Structure 1
């Protein structure tokens, strides 16, 4: 280059798509939809997974003052400007919220955002928390910073300075039926969330979204399936690990993007996060299970070889199978029967083709084997003959009903008008235990007692063979909410092969809850009294 001469410099600037956060996650959004929200529209034809509609402004919440204590902090959030709702009044952001951060343990903290002016559903599952925080500032593995304008939370690992949560991002919103929060991640090494089928253990961070809402869905790519596990473990670049539980049971989805960042969207409840600091993956698992409860210690025999299938024609076929397995000297410890053994798939019955089942179970057990039977949660309500489990269930008021009525919600399962027990209710727990015990030890005919060793409880997503209810659902808002997460068959809403979301349930203390909120806890609520 010569001093005093003029030169032209040219370069090609590549846009940074990785930092985009989706402003319109509803399917088939248009440029008009996007711009109504005050966001930017720019389609990337080379990669349609990159959001075309994205934020270019801060989130609208601010904080004026933070109140610090030795065990955490409290602050009120204020909506600082008018915001256009994503899709109607039920997604209009709530104007005032409260943030609570609790330093429970030196390796575990909780941060919670909720509407302090109005009561909202919160997950009724108890966690193992200390009665009062037991931490000291010098021993905590983390430090928390709250940003005031715009609102955000940052959590940093003290030993390394690594930021492991940073939600000072434009996506944050909190409304009645649409809650969203994003965080920057410490790395792209994220594991967890389910139950969905993935192609690898580590989550794919290239603009993938996964839904969570329990459903009787065989594993398939990007299809929400049987369980609801809003927990992930993250490995930091230096090998340290931490875990995050999002304690929320409403239908939700999570989006991973290569920033790296993670966005949570849920359609009810509150934001309630628990973070454990490890710092090793093994310690993260230990700390997480200490929080939610350790797995049940299985009986020794249940670790043996087990044989289970659907389609036995009668008890003679099971007996012949048992003899053939012994003759072939195939290792064999536990035998199952599926719904074949029941009379027309009715719980707590023995079909005529399986009348010899009680004696067969006794004989197998006398020879050192174990036996497991299946039970479904639903109870038929349209039997022409007396069906005691239903009759007694009605007497004890155990079934989920239409709101503000005394009418049971019926759906279809195996041809029956299926009623769904509300396992949160104390009366239902007592009824269910009694039915199990009397099937095991028949008080009227001991020869009909089935001395099973274990119960296989199935179809408690809960599952139906009909979307919603016989005659249809009655609350379009709950069954097809303003935002439907990225679930399988998304265009059909929340009632795919499950009952209506407006079903009225009651917690053990009598608090009313909607099936919309506790749907993904149905299996958990049945498992507890079954185990007891």
Structure 2
């Protein structure tokens, strides 16, 4: 690394090059297409060939960017400095560099700081102005866990900013590599990183959760684009925009960084390790969060952008959808099949085919006649119904269409940038009235001949609640939906820009186009010079879906009086405060099982725990073996929904003559058994900002092997899921970090509670797994609340409760249960809930009601307590002082025993104690004895191999 630091020093101090420059210290000075030596050197940069085709040939060498002007000034929140541009060539002639630039460093908390580069003289767009719910700092933190330093070696040298963790001296940010640029439509900053363990940025499809730092560039700009491999050399930018990353430092500490900017951007990763941010508007507004580990970082991040919303209990049940059922009769048949096969099914959907010609707030009068009555019936049966709504509104109706006429009266449409007196006109789903659609026609022919002209609501408009909110409320009087699915809100446009294209202006033809799918910035969306939210669409494009989420959630809660669910396709930081997310239009192919796990982990970092992929795949026809494995995996998505497209064959669990129905039923029944635990995890996410689905490294950061695992995941701290992800595989290699782990199988109950052999020190094991299994393991040291399953949560919530007590090495365990009515809007804020804690110490289980603000009707009772990891069968058991040996049932050898036939009120405290044989008197004695036994076993292995002889 000595040569690296030498090179950096040379870059900072002198334009002279003494030797060839290593690839890892090169920072790209010509990310545009078509770099040549002449163009490179015209920017004041160096050109040198390289053997690595990914490394830049054009890179910064002489000082480039800005210098400090004057002294560092103290402010109420930290410090401020003026930056003046160095005398170097402007990067883009038609995008003049800003001079001066102000840099503010704000020390918000001991672990959070803000680094903001902005133009103090001119008003530039800032995302912060659109997010009033984000807390503002009130003063400088009295102490900090970081040091911010400014460095400059001379008046003609580029300045550098460095952020160091106080305790470890790790440099979290170091911009001494140069290249800071701040122009009207091109802003760039580069920084070295403390490690190459980088996660986050989105939304993209990736092969691994941990980023590959081998010269990868990721564009971020919301786009109606299905997950898939790179296109024309560009890593696809998908529906959401999340310029947030997590970096795990070499010692296991972690930090996160958010660039609060909504303009089209890219981040370039390189093996230095380092990264470069490039955006084409706004300001460089960074927030850094220092954590003790990844979970701590996410808690801080969600505290800042907004804690995740609390889903209703029924929203954790299994959900079923298809675009193109074709008629209400088909929907009725599917629902009945699910009931006949006894498969849990909480939520049925209406995709766009329930509408008349795919128009919002309508019902197809022919194919879906009787839909309101059907919805009323399934709701009486304990199910729920969710409908889709798209933003685009047709303008071509021959009869008055109130959403359009009223929206025009209120003037809520996005405006044409070339004539702001008129709305921008595009095309999306609604068909012209009176046309006969040829389903076999080519896409472009359909768009031209069938799809009506459409306008696009401005969800920042002051009257949006009067329009969007009121139509949601009015439609509820016709159809009693329980949730809203907002789609196509990138926003999508079936023509590029508008029906008339886009004019030649600087917004639609910026001097630099980040690595996003094109060929134009307005491809598949609106012209960037259109206006809404008081600014150009160029600035607010990636905020569109986010801006729709809050008024949608507000209207749903007002009309139903309940929490409901809102989930959307296009998201932005803080969207999890209002909505959930599904991972878009995936494909029925095997590698999308693995990639769905990566997507869930990403959105966990982004503060959106209510997430899942379309089970069995959206595009193309799923196959029984693929769908079966996917149903088993999807049973552990927080948002668990099977969904596919209009041209796809049916793939609901009862299809294929019920060939996969048994496996789907078993997996979903296991899910429903664990719903009390999952619901409690969502309460913790909502109140503390923790993740629900999480990477193994969140719990085992001391084990560096976990930092790259993404084919397994955890529910909270206690449940490990290791799915089979490959076609034809009948086993799976699972990694078990250092802990006690216990089997939990829904198919073979005799294995429940068996301790995983040889897993105590952290190792990979091959687990046999036929088509009817998904390996699920419980971590020692945790108490997991369970409940009897049923076909909907309305009925499962009335079933008896149970506890799984999984003991750790010391014979201890703990857990909790959050319980409310499952759907009231703010049970946490009104204290209308019951909080119960469970603690096992020294062969005693204490069940304690910490808060009793809610009483279920009927009252619930604990019926079963399962103890995993007991060194022996107890010789005596008491429940609240009463002998309970008659309730004990022995299971799987001598380490598992159950108490069954109990009736312990959930509203009361309870104490369960047990006595072990004298040689296993307590968990503490077990803990002390176990290392000795392990040592003796290890000695036996060594002796057995000395000179090939066996010793006994």
TM-score scaled to structure 1, two decimals? 0.92
Q: Deviations over 1:393-451 (max 9, x none)?
A: 0001010011352111011113121110000012123210001000001xxxxxxx100
Q: Deviations over 1:447-466 (max 9, x none)?
A: xx100000111000101111
Aligned to 2:72: 66
| Structure 1 Cα separation of the partners of residues 145 and 132 of structure 2 | 25
Aligned to 1:276: 289
Aligned to 1:77: 83
CA distance change for structure 1 residues 262 and 95 in 2, over 3 Å: closer, same or farther?
same
Mean Cα displacement is larger for which, 519-528 or 326-335?
326-335
Q: 1:128 aligns with which of 128, 134, 159?
A: 134
Aligned to 1:440: 476
Q: 2:410 aligns with which of 376, 392, 396?
A: 396
- 3-state secondary structure, aligned to 1:426: coil
Aligned to 1:466: 495
Aligned to 1:412: 427
Map residues 20-419 of structure 1 onto 2, 5 A cutoff.
Answer: 20-44=26-50, 46-63=51-68, 64-69=70-75, 71-81=77-87, 83-90=88-95, 92-123=96-127, 124-126=130-132, 128-133=134-139, 135-136=141-142, 139-148=143-152, 149-221=157-229, 222-352=235-365, 353-403=367-417, 404-414=419-429, 415-419=451-455
Map residues 516-527 of structure 1 onto 2, 5 A cutoff.
Answer: 516-527=538-549
Shift, 1:134, TM fit:
5.2
Shift, 1:70, TM fit:
6.3
CA distance change for structure 1 residues 291 and 258 in 2, over 3 Å: closer, same or farther?
same
Shift, 1:130, TM fit:
4.8
Shift, 1:279, TM fit:
1.9
Q: Deviations over 1:292-322 (max 9, x none)?
A: 0011110000000100111111111111211
Q: Deviations over 1:39-84 (max 9, x none)?
A: 122232x321111111111223111211124631011111131x32
Q: Deviations over 1:220-273 (max 9, x none)?
A: 231000110000010111111011010000000000011111100000000100
| Structure 2 Cα separation of the partners of residues 253 and 385 of structure 1 | 46
| Structure 1 Cα separation of the partners of residues 275 and 311 of structure 2 | 35
| Structure 2 Cα separation of the partners of residues 195 and 357 of structure 1 | 35
Aligned to 2:814: none
Shift, 1:127, TM fit:
5.2
Aligned to 1:495: 522
Paired residues of 2:320 and 2:349 also in contact (CA < 8 A): yes
Is 2:484 the counterpart of 1:455?
yes
Paired residues of 1:402 and 1:503 also in contact (CA < 8 A): yes
Runs (4 or more) in structure 1 with deviation over 4 Å come to: none
Shift, 1:14, TM fit:
7.4
Aligned to 2:551: 529
Paired residues of 1:503 and 1:514 also in contact (CA < 8 A): yes
| Structure 2 Cα separation of the partners of residues 400 and 429 of structure 1 | 16
Aligned to 2:942: none
- 3-state secondary structure, aligned to 1:244: strand
Shift, 1:129, TM fit:
2.8
Paired residues of 2:78 and 2:140 also in contact (CA < 8 A): no
Q: Deviations over 1:21-50 (max 9, x none)?
A: 100110122222112112122232x32111
Paired residues of 1:196 and 1:224 also in contact (CA < 8 A): yes
Shift, 1:336, TM fit:
0.3
CA distance change for structure 1 residues 127 and 99 in 2, over 3 Å: closer, same or farther?
farther
Shift, 1:131, TM fit:
4.5
Paired residues of 2:125 and 2:282 also in contact (CA < 8 A): yes
| Structure 1 Cα separation of the partners of residues 178 and 113 of structure 2 | 24
Paired residues of 1:127 and 1:291 also in contact (CA < 8 A): no
Paired residues of 2:65 and 2:179 also in contact (CA < 8 A): no
- 3-state secondary structure, aligned to 2:67: strand
Shift, 1:154, TM fit:
0.5
| Structure 2 Cα separation of the partners of residues 146 and 170 of structure 1 | 13
Structure 2: runs of 5+ lacking an equivalent: 1-18, 230-234, 430-450, 555-952
| Structure 2 Cα separation of the partners of residues 131 and 481 of structure 1 | 34
Aligned to 1:10: none
**Structure with greater contact order relative to length (CA < 8 Å, sep ≥ 6):** 1
Is 2:532 the counterpart of 1:505?
yes
Q: CA RMSD in A?
A: 1.4
Paired residues of 1:106 and 1:134 also in contact (CA < 8 A): no
Paired residues of 2:73 and 2:79 also in contact (CA < 8 A): yes
